[in-house]
Amino acid sequence: MVTPFSEDGSVDYAVAERLADHLVNNGSDGLVVCGTTGESPTLSWQEEYQLYKTVREAVAGRAKVVAGTGSNSTSEAIDATRHACDLGLDGSLQVVPYYNKPSQQGLYQHFSQIAAAVPDLPIMLYNIPGRTGCALAVETTARLAKISNIVAIKEASGSLDQASQVRYHTPAEFGIYSGDDSLTLPVLAVGGCGVVSVASHLVGPQIQAMVQAYEAGKTRLATEIHLRLLPLFKVLFIDTNPVPVKVALAQQGWPVGKVRSPLCMADESVGAAISDVLQKLSSSGDLAKRV
């Protein structure tokens, strides 16, 4: 979920509440708050905690709320995750520590210490080497999957082979979620169970229909939906996420504001490309009406 900002750059909690409700009413089974798309690197912990509370109250009983409480400091991640647990959230997304590039043993110790600190809170690992500069090896994921409250991974390596290997080396109940909208259907085919989505801000019901079609054995229908949505999946990453999705939401009437520095809003060519895709999806009936 994106983090809406007011014109003065402060978090707009009222819009966050509306958006959370909208997403749950339009296909999302759960919401990740303060992840990559939520611009967590430029949010203070106080802002994040308030967002957790706001979203939890907005969707109470209707969807899971997962807090992005990862950090490249193990002690900081533990403190934030304990806070999320105390707030009654449903889970935590734990990104691979960035910049300091720990070894695989260091990664194992990092995640296992966080899990031990909140034994009753489900944890989703988050492997995104393109942003962190450090990849979570399949073998390390398999070791971590043996810890009772490490229950899933958001696999955003872009590698289907990686996802396949994780599936092979982990128990069937360990959830594998695509971290890329365009790879959701292929990840389902190698044993995944869903997606932590950006495009769901705009086409949540269609993504939900695609996943359900695949699970029901209607693979041709799932492929048709995937191909209809593929231009949107791609255009939402023509600039750094979440810049394009904020542009798209603004074009749909959502007052989500700009991105925080050092990110900056896209030029007119990006906006035009997004608008073209949205218009085509609207014409085909695959895009919700403007708010």
143's enclosing H/E stretch is helix 138-144
pLDDT tens digits for range 155-201? 999 999 999 999 999 999 999 999 999 999 999 999 999 999 999 99
DSSP-derived secondary structure letter, 42: G
Q: Above pLDDT 90, what percent of the chain?
A: 97
**Strand arrangement, sheet containing 175-178:** 30-33, 64-68, 91-95, 123-127, 150-155, 175-178, 194-195
- For residue 291, pLDDT beyond 70: no
Mean pLDDT over each residue of the chain, to the nearest integer: 97
Please, what sign has the CA dihedral across residues 154, 89, 68, 240? positive
Look-up of token digits 């109470």: 60
The predicted structure's pLDDT at residue 285 = 85
* 8 Å CB contact between 23 and 201: yes
Q: How far apart are CA 32 and CA 92, in angstroms?
A: 8
Please identify every residue annotated as catalytic: 126, 154
Q: How many residues does the chain have?
A: 291
Q: How far apart are CA 176 and CA 270, in angstroms?
A: 32
Alpha-carbon dihedral of residues 272, 276, 281, 283, nearest 10 degrees? Answer: 130
Average pLDDT over residues 141-166: 98
The predicted structure's pLDDT at residue 289 = 64
pLDDT tens digits for range 48-82? 999 999 999 999 999 999 999 999 999 999 999 99
- For residue 290, pLDDT beyond 70: no
pLDDT tens digits for range 210-227? 999 999 999 999 999 999
* 8 Å CB contact between 35 and 69: no
The predicted structure's pLDDT at residue 137 = 98
The predicted structure's pLDDT at residue 287 = 83
Calculate the alpha carbon distances from 66 to 69, 75, 85, 123 in Å. Answer: 9, 19, 10, 9
> Whose CA is closest to 280, among 248, 256, 243?
248
Burial of 257 (0-12, 13-18, 19+ CB in 10 A): buried
